[in-house]
Amino acid sequence: MPLSIEEKIGEVVKYLHRANDILVITGAGCSADSGLPTYRGFGGIYDNRLTEDGMPIESALSGPMFQSRPEITWKYLAEIEQGARGASPNPAHKTLALMEQKFERFWILTQNVDGFHSAAGSKNVIEIHGNMYRLNCTSCDFQKTYTDYSHIKIPPQCPRCEAMLRPNIVLFEESLPEKQINTLYRETQFPFDLVFSIGTSSYFPYISEPIWTAKQAHIPTVEINPSETAVSHLVDTKIELGAADCLTEIWTQYQSQH
């Protein structure tokens, strides 16, 4: 007989009591309760449909498109930023920041480019796809953080050399940032004893790989996601809830027993 949601949460609390080293992998679903839309999966704004320019969002937000038609890429970057404007970390981000303080080793590997994990107080964050609010010049060494894009002309020019600015994010078909990859490799050399996957479709191999590795090593794995994903069949405990409600309940129960 399948376990109830309450029983699954109880299982996760038991995992936490036995854990010292924890890896948390997060995707767009972790920021959904901040009002940010997901881009794939149920209800995603670009799920199974083309952009108004007649191309998949992956093409519009690709490195080759930025090189050939940066105005197209910037159009959709600005659309995504506008959807996030005024949002702030939600209880999922805040709970993860509290968890980091309680465990011996606690790392977050996030695909999100909204910076909410750091804003909520988490220190050990690998922003594998970068941060959309840090803009770099494509020609000189100018860098600046913009809290929103409403104060800049799209597409923006460098105030120093007038070349194009771009967010410090990984576009489709681009390589992952070396610094973040090195941090991920360094930390995964030492086994974690609990791995969470929260709000991500686990579309990319480097996002699903820690779950596969944990599975092979008989390390407990937990997925928090209302949708089925590429790792749902692998995890020990799958909780079909949103990140904020689920993490809040897990942490409340953990603290009451600790």
pLDDT in tens, 61-104: 999 999 999 999 999 999 888 888 889 999 999 999 999 999 99
Domains of the chain by residue range = 5-35+89-129+176-257, 37-86+133-169
pLDDT in the model for residue 42: 41
Structural class in CATH, domain 37-86+133-169: alpha beta
pLDDT in the model for residue 50: 78
Rg (CA), the chain: 19
Domain covering 5-35+89-129+176-257, topology:
Rossmann fold (3.40.50)
What three-state secondary structure class fits 198?
strand
* Cβ atoms within 10 Å, residue 75: 17
pLDDT in the model for residue 173: 95
Active site residues: 129
pLDDT per residue over 224-244, tens digit each? 999 999 999 999 999 999 999
Long-range contacts at 209-217 (CB < 8 A, ≥ 24 apart): 210/23, 210/25, 210/109, 211/25, 211/235, 213/188, 217/191
pTM of the model: 0.92
Plot region of 250 (φ>0 → left; ψ -120 to 50 → alpha; else → beta): alpha
37-86+133-169 and 5-35+89-129+176-257 share a CATH fold = no
Round to whole Å and give the CA distance between 179 and 175: 12
Q: Is 50 exceeded by the pLDDT of residue 8?
A: yes
